[in-house]
Amino acid sequence: MTMIILVWRNILHRKTLSLLTVFSVGITAALVVFLLLCSAGLERGAEKGYGPFEVTIGAKGSPSQLALNTYYHVGAPTGNVPFALLDEIRQEESVDSAYAMTTGDNYNGYPIVGIDAGYFATRYGADTKLAQGRMYWKLGDAIVGSHIADSLGLHVGDKFQGAHGLVKEAAEAEEHEDGQDEDEHHSFSYTVVGILPPLMTSDDRAVFTTMDYAWAVHESESAEQKEITSILVKPKSLLGAQAIKTKYGQLSNIQAIYTSKSVAEVVNVVDQGAQALSVVTGICIILAASAILLSLVAAVNERKKDVALLRLIGKSRTFIWSSLIGEGLLLTIIGLASGMAVGHIGGHLSREAVFEWTGLQLQAWQFLPGEWLLVLGTLCIGLVASAGPALQAYRVDPLQLFKS
């Protein structure tokens, strides 16, 4: 009987205990893989989230709130700034390009963002093409992100009305309190003229239209009344970014932030929260190692006479030791492979829901660098957990066992 056949028959002989061991290892591996997918999605989102716009200008308030609202369409804006500020910034020698953004309305819970169409070429490259239709150029035209088009079944030519507020439920509540606001929004209709390709950023779940939509909806016609939510600035150099931030950060009721710094602060906060999940993962790893250990200890206690018989017919201690090590490693490998598969399948099946609620893009079926550490770490844990019971079997004296 070869060692592989012996190991496999021993596993099948204790089906329940073997399945529990595989299950504990698999659950741990699946959890780690899912956390790795979320972490990778967070890093990609932070890296691609703001593109080349190193400086962001908006109303006084939290820098993180300004960055999240402007680039990730999360939370409420810090306030509004005068539209005239945009022309002043564009005249700066250190500015390569600048775009004003207006927000405050939503369609089915998705934010409606007003911004110049040139924003897409600056952020994603001049060769970026729409998946369908054309770019907007007049009031009432709108293009929608790929996620919205898929979720709501929107097509080129469809019409819809927006609602005030950034969240659907809040918008409905506010509209019931203010009938006039409801009439204003329902009298303004948008037409879908294009659908964006998957951009793998939060822009996939936003509606884009001309910057003046907010003024038309809220009847702000005079130059003094025209306000914008924020200004996205692409500087010509890092020194230029510093000059812009210093100059406009000193204005009354205006803040200028380094976008990358504000996004990094948010990522650090999220990482601190992820450390709490690491504790749970660590507990799962300990439980998985314990399951392997208990499984093999039970195997040794059950098969002491079998081990003695194998020794008497000529099998070496090394053979016995190796068979138990192999049993532990085989259970570990089966659980590891199953868990990694479940982790990626879960990431694939939940990607839409995760993106809907968090904005994280989960790219399953890509082997992440951290998974190599998962494989090596799990195999090491399986080997260490198997070593004790295997050593116990290795030391069995067959003659003394039969005499007893």
Local confidence pLDDT in tens for the 404 residues of the chain: 577 777 777 777 778 878 888 888 888 888 888 888 887 777 776 666 788 999 999 999 999 899 989 998 888 888 999 999 999 999 999 999 999 999 988 999 899 999 999 999 999 988 889 999 999 999 999 999 999 999 899 999 999 998 887 655 444 444 444 444 444 455 688 999 999 999 888 899 899 999 988 888 766 555 567 889 999 999 999 999 999 999 999 998 899 999 988 888 877 766 665 666 667 777 777 877 777 777 767 766 666 666 666 666 666 767 777 777 887 788 889 989 999 999 999 988 887 777 766 666 777 888 888 888 888 888 888 888 777 776 766 666 666 555 55
CA distances from 123 to 98, 170, 201 (A): 11, 31, 11
Asked if 73 and 202 count as a contact pair (C-beta separation under 8 A), the reply is yes
Residue with tokens 């999360």: 74
pTM above 0.85, yes or no: no
Find the Cα–Cα–Cα–Cα dihedral 14, 20, 22, 28, rounded to 10°. Answer: -160
CA distances from 150 to 10, 45, 198, 239, 382 (A): 50, 20, 11, 42, 44
Neighbours of 277 (CB within 10 A): 15
DSSP, collapsed to helix, strand or coil, labels residue 355 as helix
359/74 Cα distance (integer angstroms): 9
**Residue 104: left if φ>0, alpha if ψ -120 to 50, beta else—which one?**
left
Beta bridge mates, 232: 56, 99
64/323 Cα distance (integer angstroms): 57
Is the Cα torsion angle 7, 12, 17, 21 positive or negative in sign? positive
